[in-house]
Chain A
Amino acid sequence: MSAPLLEVTDLRKSYGAIRAVAGVSFEVRPGEIFGVIGPNGSGKTTMFNSVLGQIAPDAGAIRLKGADITGLSPLALNRRGVGRTFQTLQVFGRMSVRDNLLVAAQEHRGSMFSRMFAAPDSGLGARADALIDLFRIGHVADKPAGSLSYGQQKLVDIAMAFMSEPDLVLLDEPCAGVNPSLVGEIAALLRELNRSRGGSFVVIEHNMDFVMGLCHRVMVMVEGEVLAIGTPDAIRADRRVLDAYLGN
């Protein structure tokens, strides 16, 4: 088995007396789609934000390709090849869809000073067009992102995370507020991106069908701890998981 891409070891974060994350460990392998599920308040988002440098964990280590990345800023993480999406829509509303995609990768090209004189598309035009085709948003590519429908903005939002060709993408509820037909489309897109580009994804999602159909392995979190990690089939068969969701 190949070395893990992301290794999280004994991550802990408390807010006063509340232990939001209480010793979570897991690893994500190269090329893997890793799902994270759990009831509300199970610590998924706190874990996610700790890995992404949005909040500082109390204890624990996070490693990317063997290097310690604990406590790095979102900026530094991005430069090391970590992409992300947010739970809520986060596009640049007054910029065109194409510019949204371009700005999502341009900072990986050359130095800040060299970019001042670079071509407007930083040489990323073809890459942006490929994603625009894949996500089928060509008809709105020149419109301001803020003027699109919610579903279209969600697609732009997800596409942006892949522009810089990151090794690891963390997606925070990619299906939140999305209609059922688009949920299927997003799953197909992520599967296609995973197949053609070989990146690893971590997906937090409440939509069970989506997670079980998409992910290679799934982690179940309850009350800040890991209840189970396994293949979708194994998780579905796990009595403890059923209890956690239905019992309380």
Chain B
Amino acid sequence: MRTPLALAAGLAAAAALVALPHFLGRSGVYLLSYWVVFVVATMGLNLTVGYAGQKSLGHAAFFGIGAYTVAILMKAGLSFWLGLPLAALLCFASGIVVGFPALRVQAIYLAFATLGFNTAAWLFMRNEEWLTGGTFGIKDIARPSLFGVSFDGHRAYYYLCLAVAAILAALLYGLLRSPWGKAFTALRDNPIRAESLGVDVRGYTLLAFAIGAAYAGVAGALFAPLLEFIDPAPFSVGASIMMYLMVVVGGPGYFFGPMLGAAVGVVLPEWLRFAQDWYLFVFGAAVVLLMIWLPDGLLSIPGRLRARREARAASAARAAAAARLDGGGR
């Protein structure tokens, strides 16, 4: 991150993200906004899963809680700008509640518990029509405006999403650099040692869930006005698994993993449209192969290559030393 080259690459990427909508049509900008929303959601999941090591298969539930909070509040006449922080807050609180099982059960059982929570949340969204509209969903969710600036247009709304994502990315970057980031990582790598070093395992576990959930809540709050319509479908267990896959594909515990993973998860399906019926088959098979060949995600490739190069250099050095010894012995 500190080399000028990386800085230049970062600036170029930022410029591209700002300029890109002007070269894209309506559907292209929509897809880009979709990607940004999922980047926000998976950044949160990356904190929970990738950095803190808490296996969560229920992230889409928080995403849904955020979306429904904003949709319901806006339908009740409240402003989006009130709904957004409330969605984040409600998800933060739900994250703490869902985090409690993580204090009792670990690893795979935690994944099961979060999966169960998601199923319950989804059943609620589907069945409680009085609140959520059930399978009919909530229609005509308006896009917000701020100080007379309307975000109704597809490009304007994209910039709103991008701005929120940039702020949240900066906050996350700061958090991960702070002592909290190290505590989360310690929790993931070795909770028992962490506790013996004074790391409050309980507190950080709950925080990892709550902060991750709050990110999903903000993503959901952006998602509802983007689609202008929500129903329970995008918040199912399947969607949680999809988000988990995005994190894994990008590289769990890598800061830019979610950007890459969400791109693969959101944009690739569009590109694979030509495959039509074969798309999901190819996708499923690709997941299996990816787990076998690249379990730490795409961003682990550079590190892997470096490790291989170092190993090769070391073995070459050994061989050279052995050859020298042989020569000396003769």
Contacts and interface: CB of A to CB of B under 8 A. Distances in A.
Do A and B truly interact? Answer: yes
Interface of A: 52, 73-75, 78-79, 83-84, 86, 90-95, 99, 102-109, 112, 115-118, 120, 122, 147, 160, 163-164
Given A93-B189, A94-B253, A120-B177, A106 B196 contact: no
Contacts of B198: 75, 78-79, 105, 107-108, 164
Interface in B220-265: 253
B94 interface: no
Interface string B182-202: 110110111011111111110
B9 interface: no
B182 A116 contact: no
A106 B182 CA distance: 9
Nearest to B197: A104
B185 A107 contact: no
B178 interface: yes
Contacts of A73: 195
B153 interface: no
Given A115-B179, A116-B178, A103 B192 contact: no
Most buried by B among A105, A107, A118, A160: A107
Contact of A75 (B177, B182, B189, B201): B201
Nearest to B201: A75
Contacts of A104: 197
Contact of A103 (B175, B183, B195): B183
A50 to B, nearest CB: 15
B200 A103 contact: no
A73 B198 CA distance: 10
Contacts of A84: 196
Contacts of A106: 179, 182-183
B279 interface: no
Most buried by A among B177, B188, B195: B195
A92 B190 CA distance: 6
Contacts of A116: 175, 178-180
B299 to A, nearest CB: 13
Contact of A78 (B178, B183, B190, B197): B197
B185 to A, nearest CB: 5
B10 interface: no
B178 A120 contact: yes
B269 to A, nearest CB: 31
Contacts of A93: 189-190
Interface in B158-214: 175, 177-183, 185-186, 188-190, 192-201, 203
Interface of B: 175, 177-183, 185-186, 188-190, 192-201, 203, 253, 307
B192 A90 contact: yes
Nearest to A114: B179
A55 to B, nearest CB: 13
B197 A117 contact: no
A92 B186 contact: yes
B25 to A, nearest CB: 42
Contacts of A115: 178-180, 183
A120 B307 CA distance: 27
Contacts of B178: 115-118, 120
A112 B200 contact: yes
Given A91-B190, A92-B189, A120 B195 contact: no
A92 to B, nearest CB: 4
Contacts of B175: 116
A83 B45 CA distance: 33
B197 A160 contact: yes
A86 B183 contact: no
A146 B175 CA distance: 23
Contacts of A75: 195-196, 198-201
Contacts of B194: 92, 103
B196 A103 contact: no
A91 B185 CA distance: 11
Contacts of B189: 91-95
B17 to A, nearest CB: 27
Given A92-B194, A116-B178, 13 more contacts: A52-B196, A74-B192, A84-B196, A92-B186, A94-B185, A95-B186, A105-B198, A106-B179, A115-B178, A115-B180, A115-B183, A160-B197, A164-B198
A44 B197 CA distance: 22
Contacts of B201: 75
Contacts of A86: 193, 196
B183 to A, nearest CB: 6
Contacts of A117: 178
Given A92-B185, A95-B185, A120 B197 contact: no
